[in-house]
Structure 1
């Protein structure tokens, strides 16, 4: 009996010791896990802070470049040479921005912190938009880029911004590695179709291909192969792409018959569940403000008009300069104008840069230049929009009147302009700034709009003031414009001049814009009527 009791006691001691060891081990594992989580969270915060700081400094740098470019043009610099230098600097900045954003996305994936904002997405439409962005690159590389999209590919449930990134990464990689082959051997074939309850995208390139070892390592962060020598990147693109695809419950598979036989990537994404498929509305390809990606060989700020072939039976002419649909392009143009106008109203012309507008709208600066070649052209378009609005408003007010005293017409004209300080500031910039560095086409369109508006509103002035000779109403408006420019400059002096004018002995030089404008307009209208009667 004694041996059994001893054995039982020894067993109980061993079990207690084992339990204690297990408890200690659990505590150590828990502590290590907490430490690791803390390190990962700290790393995410640090990288996020770094990304934020770099982006802020990049915005300052872009703004400085815009300012220097404007100053150089005013000083007589050669526009073509200046644009080329600016393009190269901005391309380098964009490359840094994408690099930093890749690092941040990789950290979010590591921490399971990358969030998706999903909706119904037309993958076929999104694919066309992405291919459209790379068509110019393919053409310059001499790469035969073809796309085969099946009819009626169903919409999927996805985060359109993240999915755009996936498609762009895949196509960029295919073109990048195909570029290493002889020009007559460069091709990228893309197909999209439905297979069962999934949508399948296949991208096959004629690049250098991969061996089994490379295929096994593909997708690990910061992994680059011998075939990648001479290309840019950190090796995180595929890692990010795979992570985003897996968050969508999809799969990403690479295949290659070995070095020299190209690579084929297959992206499979599930169709939405019945509950999701009944949700109304599909996110269009441009809903997230697609950003055109820069390529060192392509100046997206210059006009490109060449045929890049057929996509889904549609000829792709001038692809690098064209939004997928006219209505999408118009909506984006209106968003650019609205943003620039808001920034101008809140500040001044000098503070509004193309880079800042692009950032506010959510576009790459290069994309902004597809809509407006220069800052001056953007502001000329703003001036046209504001003038159209003013012409319509003043026409309506004058058309409701019969013959009235000159003072009443002057008051209506002055009040309508005082209520539009942004327009009067633009008009003060028109001849000295905005009509420089713009195309003849833009200038002709603006001048013809201006003439039509002056003629229409001028006719109403002649009707309200019968003493005006025919066709002189438009001349009165031109003279009002000239007077307005002078008054605007006098009442909006430089800060140092404004401070000086606050001195008591200089009170006579202080001018109230609204008061002086009405008096000036009234005097001008009276004078023109007297000239006509003498």
Structure 2
């Protein structure tokens, strides 16, 4: 018989176990969302237990995405708040790069969740997610301003748009391979991280450039 978690620590551990199981299933089959029964089985739990923590598989996958977002903000703020260690653009890009390497599910799941927020997540739940995200975004902007005074929410949102936009253009797929074979797209590089860093450098260098008044 499965023992029900009752104290907050056990509940949080069980919630994390559910998210871990769903994320591993997603990485194994990124072209489909596993159903609740599959996720419960992978986590070693009853299907009904999963519903105690998440009302739907869509809200469960949004929770995975939120966990990724929280980790990104935590890493970036930790680096920005290091005492006595000025932050450079290279440091900024290093944190970005390592996060994407550590969490390969982030980009495909972020794309999926943007669609879910508009169509399959209850409006109030979607708003709470966005509210938390923007609160963390503002905290990060304030931390980055100690190193980059021109940092803004708009600049961070533009950076995020590059994350997703470049990935959607460059991610491997049978169609992309056919397009390259027939010279329909530039095959100059398949290195997403290299292209992303180049685009981010151009964006941030331009935004942080100080214009002197003649």
Which 5+ residue runs of structure 2 have no aligned equivalent? none
Aligned to 1:458: 141
Contact 2:76 2:92 (C-alpha < 8 Å) held by counterparts: no
How far off is 1:501 after superposition?
3.9
User: What whole-Å deviation, never above 9, does each CA across 1:299-345 have from its counterpart, x for those lacking one?
Assistant: xxxxxxxxxxxxxxxxxxxxxxxx64444433322211111122223
Which residue of structure 2 lines up, in the alignment, with residue 522 of structure 1?
A: 201
Residue from 105, 115, 125 that aligns with 1:422: 105
Distance verdict in 2 for CA 1:484–1:344, change over 3 Å: same
Offset of residue 392 of structure 1:
1.1
* Highest RCO, 1 vs 2 (Cα 8 Å, sep ≥ 6): 2
Aligned with 1:497 (options 175, 187, 205): 175
1:348 & 1:433 partners in 2: Cα distance? 15
The 3-state SS of whatever aligns with 2:53 is coil
Map 1:67-86 onto structure 2 (within 5 A). Answer: none
Provide the secondary structure at the position in 2 that maps to 1:356: helix
Report the number of matched residues.
209
Larger radius of gyration between Structure 1 and Structure 2 = 1
CA contact (8 A) 1:414 1:514 kept: no
Aligned to 2:34: 352
- Checking the alignment, whether the CA contact within 8 Å between 2:73 and 2:136 is kept in structure 1 is yes
Confirm or deny: 8 A CA contact 1:491 1:513 kept in the other structure: yes
Q: Deviations over 1:163-199 (max 9, x none)?
A: x7xxxxxxxxxxxxxxxxxxxxxxxxxxxxxxxxxxx
Return the offset for 1:357: 0.3
Cα-to-partner distance string for 1:467-524 (whole Å, 9 max, x where unaligned) = x1xxx4332211111111111111224x321331451735615542101110111111
Specify the SS of the correspondent of 2:186: helix
Task: For structure 1, list consecutive stretches of 5 or more residues without a partner in the other structure.
Answer: 1-160, 165-284, 287-322
Q: Scaled by the length of structure 2, what TM-score is found?
A: 0.82
Partner of 1:392: helix, strand, or coil?
helix
- 8 Å contact 1:340–1:352 — kept in the other structure? yes
Equivalent residue, structure 1, for 2:49: 367
**Distance 1:354-1:339 versus aligned 2 partners, 3 A rule:** same
Give the whole-Å Cα distance in 2 for the aligned partners of 1:409 and 1:504: 39
2:163 pairs with 1:480 = no
TM-score when normalising by structure 1 = 0.36
Query: Residue by residue, what CA displacement relative to the aligned partner does 1:257-293 show, whole Å, maximum 9, x if unpaired?
Result: xxxxxxxxxxxxxxxxxxxxxxxxxxxx33xxxxxxx
The Cα of 1:438 is off from its aligned counterpart by 1.8
| Aligned positions of 1:10-21 closer than 5 A | none
1:380–1:324: structure 2 CA closer, same or farther, 3 Å change rule?
same
Residue 362 of structure 1: CA displacement? Answer: 2.8
Change (3 A) 1:410 1:326: closer
The match for 1:185 is none
Counterpart of 1:508? 186
How many Å separate the matches in 2 of 1:358 and 1:516?
38
Higher strand share: 1
Structure 1 equivalent of residue 86 of structure 2: 402
1:341 match: 23
